Amino acid sequence: MPDVIIVHYDQVESELLAKMALEAGFRAKTTTSAQTAREWLKIGDYSAVFSHRYIPIREQKELADLLWIGSPESSFVVFDLDPDVEYEIGEARLLGAEVATGPKAMSLLQEIFEKLSQKRNLKSTDFRVLVVEDLDSPRYVISLYIEELGYSLVDGVASAKEAITELEGNPEKYSCIVTDIRMPGIDGRQLIELVRNHPKLQHLPIVVLTAYGTSEALMDCLNAGASGFLVKPPKKADLLRELSRARRIAAKQASPRLASIDEVEMIRRILESRGLV
């Protein structure tokens, strides 16, 4: 029986969540300490971590990183069963977390457990990535980084036009697209729109590469349906986090969009506060 971790502030909520986990076929380990949860994650793999929203975002990020180093397809869930709670989900979205708060928290948790029990197992050696970058050197470096993270199946193309030709010719070949935003001809936003409107490709996660000073372009890409983003030059830890997010999307056949159109402005405010755009 697979295990999940519950980091909580309320014993009643913890017991209720543990009961839901057991009914879905998971054993639950519960704690009020993020430090204890970190120690558990260092010595074992888990199907999910459920973190109460009161856990500081810095500690949530540390837990998520530890979880995804060992189990990239596992879920990190921010929860609060108080039906009256108002929670801005932007930070959780950027982290790659799922959110179960407010009046629909219980039904959302049920859906999460159902997806966990039905998810496909995708090995990194079965996960083929297409890198779209018009400049040779950055394309080579990004492809090399991806390979060094354990993803040996990486192809690169120099334009969005080449990418569309390759994708349409082999719609089942790729599991993820990593694309630059600013390219001659068809740019990154247009590539995302083409993929999202293609019946055989629209499920693919798409990670965009952005640079400082490209706030509007990045927001356009999120509106178009990007799954995540990396600031150039990408750090390996950030790249691993985005590839892990893409694997979870593919494994659970979940929505490939990082944010809905209504959530994009909230994402912008968070990124601006961090000085990333």
What's 222's domain CATH number? 3.40.50.2300
Domain of residue 145, residue span? 124-273
Q: What is the dihedral of CA 62, 90, 124, 109, to 10 degrees?
A: 90
**Predicted pLDDT of residue 54:** 92
Cα dihedral value 268, 94, 243, 159, nearest 10 = -10
Structural contact between residues 160 and 187, judged by C-beta atoms closer than 8 angstroms: yes
pLDDT at 277 over 70: no
Per-residue pLDDT of 98-114, as tens digits, reads 999 999 999 999 999 98
pLDDT at position 120 = 64
Same domain? For 132 and 266 the reply is yes
Same domain, 106 and 170: no
Same domain? 136 vs 235: yes
Number of domains in the chain: 2
Looking at this protein, which amino acid is placed at residue 259? A
CA 80, CA 125: separation in Å to the nearest integer? 36
Q: Is the dihedral of CA 58, 63, 67, 73 positive or negative?
A: negative
Domain endpoint, select from 71, 90, 118:
118
Q: Same structural domain for residues 145 and 193? A: yes
What percent of the chain has pLDDT above 70?
95
* Residues contacting 40, CB < 8 A, separation 6+: 5, 29, 31, 46
- CA torsion sign for 211, 225, 146, 133 is negative
128 and 228 co-located in one domain: yes
Helix spans in 149-187 (H): 160-169
Phi, psi of 44 (to 5 degrees): -160, 160
138 and 27 within one domain = no
Q: Is the pLDDT of residue 272 over 80?
A: no
Burial of 96 (0-12, 13-18, 19+ CB in 10 A): buried
Q: Do 239 and 128 fall into the same domain?
A: yes
201 pLDDT above the threshold of 60: yes
Nearest to 189 by CA among 229, 157, 154, 156: 229
Given 85, 118, 151, the domain boundary residue is 118
Q: Is 31 helix (H, G, I), strand (E, B) or coil?
A: strand
Q: Could you tell me if 75 and 208 lie in one domain?
A: no
Please give the structure tokens belonging to residue 112.
């999460």
Q: Are residues 140 and 233 in the same domain?
A: yes
Indicate if the pLDDT at residue 212 is higher than 60: no
